[in-house]
Amino acid sequence: MILSCNNIKKSYGANLILNNINFQINKGDRVALVGRNGSGKSTLFKIIVGELSCDEGSCNRPKNTTIGYLSQQLALKEEHSLWEELLEIFSPLIQMETTLRNLEKEISHQSNTHHSQKLNSLMEQYGHLQEEFEKQNGYGYPSQIRRVLNGLGFKEEDYQKQIQKFSGGQKTRIALAKLLLKQPDILLLDEPTNYLDLETTEWLESFLLNYPHTLFIISHDRYFLDKLVTQVFELENKKLTVYQGNYSDYVRRKKENLEITQRHYQQQQKEIQRQEEIIAKYRSFNREKSIQKAESRQKMLDKMEKIEPPTSEVPTLRFKIQSQIKSGRNVLKVENLSKSFGEKKLFSNINFQVYRQDHIGIIGPNGIGKSTLFKMILGQIPFDEGKIIWGHNVYSAYYDQLQNSFKKENTILEEVWSAKPSATQTEIRNLLGSFLFSEEDVFKTISSLSGGEKSRVSLAKLLLSEANLLFMDEPTNHLDIPTKEALENALCQYEGTLMVISHDRYFLNKVVNKIYKIEQGTLKEYLGNYEYYLEKIHQKQLLEKSQKIQPTINKTQLKQERKKIRENRQRIKKQQQRVQNLENKVSKLEGKISETEKIMCQPDFYNDNEKAVKITKEYEIMKEQVKIIINQWEEEIIRLEEIKEEGSF
């Protein structure tokens, strides 16, 4: 046992946060602490590290156990450079190294004076210290620092930069770097993947998989938890429940437990009803023996341990995203898009095509230009070169992670109502109720809201837009896991088109059917979710590795390779033409369908029955043709991707 908490109770005034919390963590355990925002997760961490006192109970750990805590409050020396801040961790080693250098000088001096006894004593002292220095990796700490800084996305030119000049997100990464280098016996991490891009999160996962001590993690990143933890502690209704396994195991087991409890509850309710009917029957006989039997059964019934109905006190967010009008098949086309800021080239010749019902995830390192791409498409930022071509009947809406469009002085009710002034107050309040803003909550000002509450306001406004093309920039930031799941379910059922920037891999796996990766000013398309993208990246890495160990090809082989490349380019060109021809056919048919629908909507359409039947039949045939051509188009798109992959491998 490395940490135990016994009967922990904590209140803030009359508000009870934690009640009778009990658990034990053993050396080497990897534990996730999950629960809704406000359930007391960070409070429990602060009690464990001694930042807060509990009203009742105790936290215990063995003597000399070191504990490290990454909180959302950072303790960094602003005047230090990045390198100085991390070097402080190794000050005992640096002092040891200084002592070794001084001993070397002293040994050299004693060698010249021929004082053998003093020399032997110094040599012995030096040998012991040198052994301890090497044992603690005294020569390796600079490379340790570089490895962690590089993994967390810092460059060598950042090393001498003062802490105060870094952004808030960068400071969080610096605090995380310090903790990883200290390697405490118990590492407590509170939302460690906040402010990390995908690449950095994957590096952190890899680092923590090899962490030699105990991990205790608060995180809303379900993919991260699935990779790392072997136990899940759930805080719900002020109580803690322990589940074995990773996050997915926890979800499955919780559902199973709920179903079992529901069955037991229903069975008990049936038995209670049966007993009450028997008691009522005995009483109706109105005889002494029957009354005694009724009283005896009533006593047994009163002593029965009643099962509580398996309902959560926590309200669940449920909503559906709908589009008012169906867009054309071709939603958006971007051709040769380029953008620079001064001498910095952000994009160069970006090309892609978005089709109706595409759910596209956009990934790439922080600062690569993902949000800028959205803003260029939406006309908020000018681009240098290229074209942006919108499809027929496309109505877009934008979810901005920074919520820059909010008026801070507005109440929640006013802010959401501004998205649809024609709605009634009752309609807006009903909508806000589905987003867990009830009664007096709707009169809170925007400036007083938490990040999660602001995100829910943004989602409520998005619903009122009834757009058929959604642009969403980091929509799961600040959301707890149940709210993320509600958003995922809504987006999976959304029949419009979605383009979403996200670092949430679990979300990307569930919601998207295409991945656009932006890297070094270019865009690469992958026809699948995040797992598919990972698989393709892995295949490419294996190929590159195998090519490195292959012997250099001769001139004949080189000619053959070049011929294959030319042939593959021709195949791609022909396949792209097939795709384009099918798109043109769909576009023409949809135009005819639209014209036919206008004719069919005319008041006198059914006056000529024979003509109406003929037009209706043609209309149904055209709709069926569109379905057939779209199926062909999907097959040709898959074939195009296969040809591209064959050419790249």
Q: At what angle do helices 91-113 and 116-135 cross, to 10 degrees?
A: 160
| 523 has a pLDDT exceeding 50 | yes
Residues 392-423 have pLDDT tens digits of 999 999 987 666 778 888 899 998 898 888 88
Non-local CB neighbours of 55 within 8 Å, separated by 6+ positions = 9, 10, 11
Coil, strand or helix at 197: coil
Give dist(CA 436, CA 276) in Å, integer. Answer: 39
Task: For 342-380, list the strands marked E by DSSP.
Answer: 344-355, 359-363
pLDDT for 311: 63
Residue labelled with tokens 């099918």: 582
pLDDT for 515: 95
Q: Compute CA distances 422 → 155, 345, 439, 460, whole Å.
A: 52, 44, 22, 15
pLDDT for 649: 46
| 501 has a pLDDT exceeding 90 | yes
Q: pLDDT exceeding 70 applies to what percent of the chain?
A: 94
CA end-to-end span of the chain, whole Å? 51
Which CATH topology does 330-538 take? Rossmann fold (3.40.50)
Token digits of residue 86: 């991390």
| 549 has a pLDDT exceeding 80 | no
| 318 has a pLDDT exceeding 90 | no
Non-local CB neighbours of 140 within 8 Å, separated by 6+ positions = none
Closest CA to 19 of 312, 313, 238, 237: 238
Give dist(CA 597, CA 610) in Å, integer. Answer: 17
pLDDT for 552: 56
Q: Are 49 and 56 in contact (CB under 8 A)?
A: no
Closest CA to 473 of 453, 454, 501, 438: 501
What is the β-pairing status of strands 239-244 and 231-236?
Answer: antiparallel
Answer with the residue of higher pLDDT: 91 or 137. 91
Q: DSSP string spanning 148-190?
A: HHHHTT--GGGTTSBGGGS-HHHHHHHHHHHHHHH--SEEEEE
Backbone angles phi, psi at 380, to 5 degrees: -85, -25
Non-local CB neighbours of 345 within 8 Å, separated by 6+ positions = 338, 521
Q: Which of 262-266, 370-374, 434-438 has the lowest mean pLDDT?
A: 434-438
pLDDT for 113: 66
Give dist(CA 516, CA 499) in Å, integer. Answer: 10
User: Considering Cα of 105, then 109, then 112, then 116, what sign does the dihedral take?
Assistant: negative
Which residues, listed in sequence order, are joined to residue 431 by a DSSP beta bridge?
A: none
% helix, strand, coil for the chain, step of 5: 55, 20, 30
Please report how many Cα atoms fall inside a 13 Å half-sphere around the Cα of residue 284, on the Cβ side. 6
Q: Are 514 and 360 in contact (CB under 8 A)?
A: yes
Give dist(CA 475, CA 463) in Å, integer. Answer: 14
Exposed / middle / buried, residue 495 (Cβ in 10 Å: 0-12, 13-18, 19+):
exposed
Coil, strand or helix at 536: helix
What CATH architecture does domain 557-647 belong to? Orthogonal Bundle (1.10)
Q: Which of 133-137, 400-404, 594-598 has the lowest mean pLDDT?
A: 400-404
| 147 has a pLDDT exceeding 50 | yes
Non-local CB neighbours of 74 within 8 Å, separated by 6+ positions = 171, 172, 174, 175
Q: Are 373 and 524 in contact (CB under 8 A)?
A: no
56 — pLDDT class (breaks 50, 70, 90): very high
Closest CA to 461 of 495, 409, 510, 423: 423
Q: Which of 141-150, 341-350, 554-563 has the lowest mean pLDDT?
A: 554-563
Q: Which ranges in 72-115 belong to alpha helices (H)?
A: 82-87, 91-113
Residue labelled with tokens 């699948």: 528
Overall average pLDDT of the 154-183 stretch: 89
Closest CA to 388 of 430, 335, 465, 442: 335
Average pLDDT value over all residues in the chain: 86
Q: pLDDT exceeding 90 applies to what percent of the chain?
A: 35
Overall average pLDDT of the 56-67 stretch: 91
| 312 has a pLDDT exceeding 70 | no
Distance of CA 16 to the CA centre of its chain: 30
| Global pTM value | 0.71
Give dist(CA 344, CA 158) in Å, integer. Answer: 19
Residues 610-643 have pLDDT tens digits of 887 888 888 888 888 888 888 888 788 778 777 7
Distance of CA 524 to the CA centre of its chain: 21
Residues 100-129 have pLDDT tens digits of 888 888 877 776 666 677 778 888 888 888
Overall average pLDDT of the 296-302 stretch: 89
Q: Is 560 left (phi over 0), alpha (psi -120 to 50) or beta?
A: alpha
Give dist(CA 245, CA 567) in Å, integer. Answer: 51
Token digits of residue 334: 């971007």
- Segment (H or E) for 214: strand 214-218
Residues 12-50 have pLDDT tens digits of 888 899 999 999 999 999 999 998 887 889 899 999 998
CA angle 285, 287, 290 (to 5 degrees): 75
Q: Compute CA distances 177 → 117, 193, 586, whole Å.
A: 46, 12, 54
Give dist(CA 97, CA 605) in Å, integer. Answer: 94
Domain-wise residue ranges, the chain: 81-168, 253-303, 330-538, 557-647
Closest CA to 384 of 355, 440, 343, 422: 343
Give dist(CA 269, CA 281) in Å, integer. Answer: 18
646 — pLDDT class (breaks 50, 70, 90): low
Give dist(CA 145, CA 165) in Å, integer. Answer: 20
Q: Are 491 and 321 in contact (CB under 8 A)?
A: yes
Non-local CB neighbours of 348 within 8 Å, separated by 6+ positions = 338, 521, 522
Backbone angles phi, psi at 436, to 5 degrees: 70, 25
